[in-house]
Amino acid sequence: MSTATPNASSDVLDFVVHKANGLKGLVDTGLQSLPRQYIQPPERRLHASQVISQESIPIIDVSNWDDPQLVESIFEAASKWGFFQIINHGIPQEILDHLQDAAHGFFGLPNEERKKFWKGKSPTDTAFLATSFTPLKEKVLEWKDYLSFRYIPGDEKSQTLWPSVCKDPVLDYMKRVEMVIKKLLELLLTKLNVREIDKEKEYALMGSLTINLNYYPHCPNPELVTGVGCHSDISSITVLLQDDIGGLYVRGIEEDSWIHIPPVNGALVINIGDVLQIMSNDQYKSIEHRVVANGSKNRVSVPIFVNPGPDALIGPLPEVLETGAAPRYKPILFSDYFSYFFSKGHDGKNSINYAKI
């Protein structure tokens, strides 16, 4: 291949990050053994003994959004697990398939084509390619690249600059999934005594949408690395499409136990993020999750982080405090919380302490 192969361990960060080849570029050099930058200390690896198979997160049929039982099922799943899958959401399978094909299509492009979109060099600030989580701040890199889009409805000027292999599949999906996001938030907020999501609340719940195409290349020693380290999302909710490979684990109720989220064809995985935990004053909880790498297959997943607008002030909702409950969080500007989250490596549920009183 045309790009020089890193030949010393110290060259890896330079090759992957500074030279914009990403992890995919590194794996494509024909990697036989794992560079030390990717080897996690034992306490950050998932061990088989920690995985429990007796429990599973709920799968909820949302074919009738007006079914009074639905709000109860969603509330129960969100309160108990912070995670659930939805089926029969109305988004055609073809749109989901095209989205996954688009992720494989982008990461299958020649290195030189992909790197045009590397963070800081991309022709538009609404689409960029990156690796790991915060590679310049992490002790050990995560086994993942991702292409990230900021979705602004109707922003054709910047969208024409998106990689052509992804643009239409991403936009087709976003147009369809918006309704699902609104319905989920409506139901989750109903149980917090919020009768109507007005413009201000809408901005605080979903004022900014980010969609990532995550790519986890096959790994020579999957048990030594992490695809994504333990974290909770900072979003209000996250809507995730995963392929049929598996590898996403969520923290169980028992001490240090982890539950696999099995791929279900056509389903979307929904999880509560820190923002909804804060707004609900802990009635909903954002739950830690992690991703394990695969030894033979290239996994893709597509999360949408339903985030507040950057200027939104996030704190416990007045409707939640009406009962006289003491607020557990102080109001924070979402852009400050966002910067804090990205100022360090993944560290479980520690970020939310930033907002605690």
Ligand X SMILES: O=C(O)CCC(=O)C(=O)O
Question: Is the CB of 233 or the CB of 274 nearer to ligand X?
Answer: 233
Q: Find the binding residues for ligand X in span 286-325 (CB under 6 A).
A: 289, 291, 301, 303
90: left (phi over 0), alpha (psi -120 to 50) or beta: left
Question: Is the CB of 142 or the CB of 233 nearer to Fe ion?
Answer: 233
Q: Cβ(82)–Cβ(57) under 8 Å?
A: no
* Residue 314, both tokens: 């996030």
Question: Is the CB of 180 or the CB of 302 nearer to ligand X?
Answer: 302
Closest separation in Å from C-beta 3 to ligand X? 27
Binding region for ligand X (CB under 6 A) out of 22-30, 150-158, 240-248, 349-357: 240-248
Q: Nearest CA to 144 among 247, 256, 252, 11?
A: 247
Site string for ligand X, 198-237 (x = CB under 6 A): ----------------x-------------x----x----
- With a CB cutoff of 8 Å and minimum separation 6, the contacts of 294 are 216, 218, 219, 222, 245, 247
Residue facing ligand X at closest CB distance: 301
Closest separation in Å from C-beta 231 to Fe ion? 6
Options 37, 40, 148, 242; binder of ligand X; rule CB under 6 A: 242
Options 86, 103, 184, 248; binder of ligand X; rule CB under 6 A: 248
Distance CA 357, CA 355 (A): 7
Question: Is the CB of 115 or the CB of 289 nearer to ligand X?
Answer: 289
Element (H, E) at 268: strand 268-272
* Residue 93, both tokens: 């399978």
17: left (phi over 0), alpha (psi -120 to 50) or beta: alpha
Closest separation in Å from C-beta 103 to ligand X? 11
Q: Find the binding residues for Fe ion in span 218-257 (CB under 5 A).
A: 233
Q: Cβ(218)–Cβ(250) under 8 Å?
A: no
- Residues interacting with ligand X, by CB under 6 A? 214, 228, 233, 240, 242, 248, 289, 291, 301, 303
